[in-house]
Structure 1
Amino acid sequence: MTSEIEIFVIAFTALLFLSGLVSGKISGTVVTAPMIFVAAGMLLSPEGLDLVSLSSSSILILSIAELALVLTLFSDASKIELQALMREDKLPGRLLIIGTPLTIAFGAIVAAFLLKDITLAEAGLIGAMLSPTDAGLGQAIVNNTKVPAKIRQALNVESGLNDGGAIPFFLFFLILEGGEALKWPAGTLIVLAFEQIGIGVLVGAVIGLAGGLLSGKAVRIGWMSGLYRKIGFMSLAIISWLVADLLGGSGFIAAFTGGLITTQAAGKIKATEEEAILTEAEGSILSFAVFFIFGIIAATRIFTINWPIFIYAVLSLTLIRMIPVAISLIGMRLHTKTVLFLGWFGPRGLASVVLLLTAMEETGGIGGSETVSLAVITTVFLSVFVQGATAGPGSEWYARIIAGLPADALERKKVEESLTSPDNMTVKNLSNNSEGR
């Protein structure tokens, strides 16, 4: 390892240990773990104490970030029961099928109007990169049983699947941006986009089906323990990612598709406590690493933010998400403040950061413009600190609103069936609570 990488690893692992020491103390406060890692990255960056220095094009950065997203995509997709997704009054399905595309479109339109020095393809990239949500930044909501299970579950399922839904749009605009620079015909760009998406889906489906059938059979006949089944699933995620990449497809789409197929093929197998702990631990470590990296990168750009960028970031976290959410929920007879709550708590985090790093690597700086990266960095930065800090107080405010609604209100309707497989103990347990207690 180079000295730069060694220093990064030492700094991150030391921070990981120290944050663990105070994890119980900060629990229940407005301070979240992502805040700590972003702030630490900024403090240790060349703009701060100059102890850790990493280029945004570093192979280490991109590898860690992509691995984090690949495992997240596969894991989240593998926890979803597709047959139940469209039930529960279609709330998660509406947020995903209607809300996500509209958020991308609104984000692109506002970016093209407000940020004058970007192309239409770059505006689309901004919209796509900032559409995925990260429930980890609003963990206080997910853990607050006073918030109805239906609402918590909708936010969790949306966060688990909308990054996978945003990636095809991201790929299309990324290819369009690169093709415009090379003056490729539009038909060639469309074929290339569908080729990457198609290969990714095919690879993910084949590996997911084969891996799911084999692991499910091995568990049922007693050859494979639950813990190693989870390790096997992690392996399938990485295999899907790398094989698709080698064949010219999208590794992210392959990982997401593989996750969807694997659990369906394996069948319902009860997860052990060790599996749940392993999944949560590896996911948290990689996520924290990405936020630490984000802090280092953000520190070098945060002081170059201008008013159009800042205004766009504020709009991205508010109207650009809230309006699509409101449109997607038309006719559901939800309370106005429920729609506002769902619209506000769509924090941007890991997926947006990884997609930005990928775009910067693929296009060599996204057409030479810093505007796209600044828009994403500013939005994620505000989201980590503002939405993270308001998650706890906001969930308590919403719980008081719900307490005053009639007993037959849709928000208080008991969630009869989990949208997730038995592997996801945390989210599944949400369905065991009716309205908050």
Structure 2
Amino acid sequence: MLLAHWSLFVGVLLITMVLVSTLLARLPLSSAMIYLALGYALGPGGIAVIAPDPMRHAGTLEAITEVALLISLFATGLKLGVPLRDRSWALPLRLAFPTMALTVALIAAIGVWGLGLSAGAAVLLGGILAPTDPVLASSLQSGHGSRPDRVRFSLAAEGGLNDGSAFPFVLLGMGLIGLHELGGGWRWSVADLLWAPAGGIAIGTALGALIGKLIVRLRTRHHTAVGLNEFLSLGLIASAYGTAQLLMASGFLAVFAAGLALRRVEEQPLAGSVSLDLAPPLAHAPDHASAERATHSHHASATMTHAVLEFSEQLEKLAELAIVLIIGAMLPYATGLAGLWWFVPVLLLLLRPVAVAAGLAGNPVHPHQKAMIGWFGIRGVGSVFYLMYALHHGVSGALAQQLVTLTLITVAASILLHGISAHPAMTWYERRRSKPA
């Protein structure tokens, strides 16, 4: 296709999504389902105008999916306004770490005994398929503010955390098949399992807080550094990721933590100043009033966070469009596999609920909330990134083809099943939640 053809196609697609967005909200369809079908039609299974062969283009696809994940992780962190000391964080932390690790173990066991994989290959498969997805989970509307719904908040926070917490298990699997240095287990335990997640969270938190406070102070005290919130968003993502990677920490968790920290930058009211919400209505033009809020000591932080979040959410939607189109186009590269017919249902319908139930044992979660969390273990961009990472870093041959098939079919099934069930499941959940205890 020529550039003009691509330009026309993308333009028509974007405008069409604007026109039908209200209709889609009323139907048991998600935007990801539409993108998946369009991607398949554009790929080798359809008119073959794109051919994202995962074996030949693993490096490029790894980079594209990584950028999409970073954008979504930052946006997810910005959306989560629950105070960090709030008890609501206990649930997503248990989902993102012990539950995720248990999911890896369960998938690995199925891989060894059911699919005939080696221990290393099975652990690698577990690391690829265990994390839930922050990009596609955003369709569940996690809810803004300091008191969002518990289920939506937990799913969103889990998706933000477990893309970083899954990486050590991907590296463990690669180490067991000889493609990553484990250092007798010590290097993996200390550097990959302990330092990478903890260092990523610490680095992202520090950068998000420091840069956010600096911008707010410059805007409120000196009326400088105003505007270019898009640059602030992209700059903080790049800085957090780059710093973490250079220090051998998790870039994913650093970017997520940077979004969390930026959201929590507090206002710095000047002595004697009054909030614009308490002052008499201004007679200024709306754009002047908006500029005044951006530099007002009672509103600068909230105005900055809102602008950065708005831009990040738009980027997230574009990233979802691009990545799911690519996933759809890659589906023809999945080949027949003897255990495929039972593996995907077992993973989505059995392993996820079992891991959630075990991981949340002892936590006072209502059964209908646990059922919702157990069902919405959405797989997506994170799994595709880890697949491409493995292929780009040496996995090849029959194992590579097995991983490609299992990952792509699982992700496609998850997009379809969770997309169709999202509206009715959430309606059922809201009905149960509204009933008196």
In the TM superposition, what is the alpha-carbon distance from 1:45 to its structure 2 partner? 0.6
For residues 89-135 of structure 1, the C-alpha deviation after alignment (integer angstroms, 9 at most, x for no partner) is 8433433343222222222222222221x332222222222222236
**Aligned counterpart, 2:113:** 113
Equivalent pair of 1:42/1:298 in contact (CA under 8 Å): yes
Matches within 5 A, 1:171-182: 171-179=171-179
- Work out the CA distance in 2 between the residues paired with 1:139 and 1:187: 37
Give the partner amino acid of 1:131.
A
Say if 1:130 and 1:295 are closer, same or farther in 2 by CA, change over 3 A.
same
Give the partner amino acid of 2:317.
S
- Work out the CA distance in 2 between the residues paired with 1:263 and 1:278: 14
In the TM superposition, what is the alpha-carbon distance from 1:329 to its structure 2 partner? 2.9
Equivalent pair of 1:348/1:379 in contact (CA under 8 Å): yes
The counterpart of 1:33, out of the listed 31, 34, 49, is 31
Equivalent pair of 1:140/1:395 in contact (CA under 8 Å): no
**Aligned counterpart, 1:77:** 77
- Work out the CA distance in 2 between the residues paired with 1:383 and 1:243: 33
The counterpart of 1:55, out of the listed 49, 53, 56, is 53
**Aligned counterpart, 2:277:** none
The counterpart of 2:333, out of the listed 290, 296, 300, is 300
Say if 1:209 and 1:228 are closer, same or farther in 2 by CA, change over 3 A.
same
Task: Give structure 1 stretches of 5+ with no counterpart.
Answer: 410-437
- Work out the CA distance in 2 between the residues paired with 1:205 and 1:185: 31
**Aligned counterpart, 2:302:** 270
Give the partner amino acid of 1:70.
L
Equivalent pair of 1:107/1:316 in contact (CA under 8 Å): yes
**Aligned counterpart, 1:237:** 237
- Work out the CA distance in 2 between the residues paired with 1:380 and 1:235: 31
**Aligned counterpart, 2:374:** 343
- Work out the CA distance in 1 between the residues paired with 2:259 and 2:120: 29
Equivalent pair of 2:207/2:240 in contact (CA under 8 Å): yes
In the TM superposition, what is the alpha-carbon distance from 1:27 to its structure 2 partner? 1.7
Please identify, of 192-201 and 97-106, the stretch whose mean Cα deviation from structure 2 is larger.
192-201
Give the partner amino acid of 1:279.
S
Matches within 5 A, 1:15-164: 15-56=13-54, 57=57, 60-80=60-80, 83-84=83-84, 86-88=86-88, 90-116=90-116, 118-134=117-133, 137=136, 141-142=140-141, 149-164=149-164
Give the partner amino acid of 1:55.
D
**Aligned counterpart, 2:281:** none
Equivalent pair of 1:135/1:346 in contact (CA under 8 Å): no
In the TM superposition, what is the alpha-carbon distance from 1:219 to its structure 2 partner? 3.8
In the TM superposition, what is the alpha-carbon distance from 1:393 to its structure 2 partner? 1.2
Say if 1:179 and 1:199 are closer, same or farther in 2 by CA, change over 3 A.
farther
**Aligned counterpart, 2:315:** 282
**Aligned counterpart, 2:273:** none
TM-score (ref. length: structure 2): 0.77
- Work out the CA distance in 2 between the residues paired with 1:100 and 1:288: 27
- Work out the CA distance in 2 between the residues paired with 1:366 and 1:69: 27
- Work out the CA distance in 1 between the residues paired with 2:245 and 2:364: 44
For residues 283-341 of structure 1, the C-alpha deviation after alignment (integer angstroms, 9 at most, x for no partner) is 1101211111111111222xx23341232211221221101211233334444333222
Say if 1:89 and 1:190 are closer, same or farther in 2 by CA, change over 3 A.
closer
For residues 378-400 of structure 1, the C-alpha deviation after alignment (integer angstroms, 9 at most, x for no partner) is 11110000111011111222333
Q: Does 1:377 align with 2:378?
A: no
- Work out the CA distance in 2 between the residues paired with 1:154 and 1:144: 11
Say if 1:50 and 1:42 are closer, same or farther in 2 by CA, change over 3 A.
same
Say if 1:399 and 1:245 are closer, same or farther in 2 by CA, change over 3 A.
closer
- Work out the CA distance in 1 between the residues paired with 2:244 and 2:89: 36
Task: Give structure 2 stretches of 5+ with no counterpart.
Answer: 268-300
Size of the aligned set, in residue pairs, is 396
For residues 239-266 of structure 1, the C-alpha deviation after alignment (integer angstroms, 9 at most, x for no partner) is 33345546666543443454455555x4
- Work out the CA distance in 2 between the residues paired with 1:63 and 1:220: 38
Say if 1:384 and 1:247 are closer, same or farther in 2 by CA, change over 3 A.
same
Equivalent pair of 2:76/2:134 in contact (CA under 8 Å): no
Equivalent pair of 2:96/2:159 in contact (CA under 8 Å): no
The counterpart of 2:340, out of the listed 302, 309, 333, is 309
Say if 1:35 and 1:89 are closer, same or farther in 2 by CA, change over 3 A.
closer
Secondary structure class of the residue paired with 1:363: coil
Say if 1:119 and 1:258 are closer, same or farther in 2 by CA, change over 3 A.
farther
- Work out the CA distance in 2 between the residues paired with 1:214 and 1:103: 41
Say if 1:74 and 1:309 are closer, same or farther in 2 by CA, change over 3 A.
same
Please identify, of 382-391 and 338-347, the stretch whose mean Cα deviation from structure 2 is larger.
338-347
- Work out the CA distance in 2 between the residues paired with 1:193 and 1:4: 44
Give the partner amino acid of 2:39.
G
Q: Does 1:394 align with 2:425?
A: yes
**Aligned counterpart, 1:418:** none
Larger radius of gyration: 2
